[in-house]
Amino acid sequence: MKTKFFSLLILTYSLSLNAQLESRREIKIPDIPGYLTLKCDFHMHTVFSDGLVWPTLRVDEAWREGLDVIAISDHIEYHPHEDDIPVNFGRTFEIAKPRAEMYGIIIIQAAEITRQMPPGHYNCLFLEDVAELDQPDFWEAINAAKNQGAFIMWNHPGWRQEDEIPIWYDDHTKLYEQGYMHGMEIVNGRSYYPLALEWCVEKNITIFGNTDVHSSIGMDYDLSLNDQRPITLVFATDRSKEAVKEALFDGRTVVYSGDMLIGKEEFLKPLFNRSVELVNTDLDISSGGTFNIQIQNKSEIPYYLVSTEQPEGLEYPEKITLYAERTVMMRLRISRGTASNVSGIRLPYTVKNLLTNRDTGLPVELVISTPAMK
């Protein structure tokens, strides 16, 4: 009897553990008007170059962590495991694709052209034939990618530079001017390159944040501690490879790294507005007084707000932290004279961890409506 009981207990535990392992953590970031917000990682490696995992594991990791799109970009030129795993360009994609289809993950065929700086390393996305990039001359390799209609991204521009500060060389001017540089990583793993962000804003280059993961993702990021891998948010018209490609060429991306969102105001502002809701704003302020305003943050990203001005007759916090997936209380004082002359309240803030450029936060307004506004 005891033997049967313990056997049943072990079986129940095993099934429970297996169910936990086959669960997906959804990334709580909203869609924005007109677009789906797809969560993506466009830079990772497997044993078919210098990575340490099999291609199907990259798909499993992506599904469990809430990703929608991945690109496995094994090196063209570097294969330290070739004594055990023969060089076979495109094999990574062939192995991973059925697994990705099973999980509903969009997988993009990709490869990394790997040369000394300058010009550096470049991910080529949406390839048809990876082997065509195996050229001794860098410019022939990059041209082979362009001829396939690939999206070309400059990887980790600050890698191995002093203090990780990127340098723009003449080769990069040539790449940019001749249409070989469509995107750039401003975040690679735990490295952030503010100067690269400035270049992207100035030159209208699509921004990316990727892992460049080589070992298993759990060796680099601890999800149990909310240690989220950096990802690229892509704003696509639908959930398809073609829509992702169109969005990348159109520059519709935001980088999510740590507790930062980095990107154009036209995408950051609707993300913030779709995430944040003032719960009890229908107030009668005609006589002034003190009001407690509840502000709900429905996203998994905390927002750090700093007041940009204090309009006369209003008192409210200079700083507010809107904690992830929480509701916070803000106290607002309105003088009687001010209340008699307004039909609604707009409180201007800057969101310090939503960056539109280097050290430039996103301007927002918390709008408190009144009966007169309706």
Could you list the pLDDT tens digit for every one of the 374 residues in the chain?
555 544 554 554 444 444 445 899 999 999 999 999 999 999 999 999 999 999 999 999 999 999 999 999 999 999 999 999 999 999 999 999 999 999 999 999 999 999 999 999 999 999 999 999 999 999 999 999 999 999 999 999 999 899 999 999 999 999 999 999 999 999 999 999 999 999 999 999 999 999 999 999 999 999 888 899 999 999 999 999 999 999 999 999 999 999 999 999 999 999 999 999 998 767 777 677 898 999 999 999 999 999 998 888 899 999 999 999 999 999 999 887 665 455 578 899 999 999 999 999 999 999 887 654 44
- DSSP designation for 32: B
Backbone phi, then psi, for 157, in 5-degree steps?
-65, -20
pLDDT for 141 equals: 98
Residues in the chain: 374
Give the class (CATH, top level) of 24-258.
alpha beta
Q: Which amino acid is at 251?
A: G
CB 221 within 8 A of CB 258: no
Please state, in angstroms and rounded to a whole number, the distance separating the CA atoms of residues 146 and 138: 12
CATH 2.60.40.10 residue ranges in the chain? 274-373
Phi-psi region of 99 (alpha: psi -120 to 50; beta: other; left: phi over 0): alpha
In the sheet that holds 289-297, the strands lie side by side as 276-278, 289-297, 326-334, 314-315
CATH 3.20.20.140 residue ranges in the chain? 24-258
- Which CATH superfamily, name and number, covers 274-373? Immunoglobulins (2.60.40.10)
- DSSP designation for 60: H
DSSP class per residue in 341-373: T-SEEEEEEEEEEEEEETTEEEEEEEEEE-GGG
CB 205 within 8 A of CB 183: yes
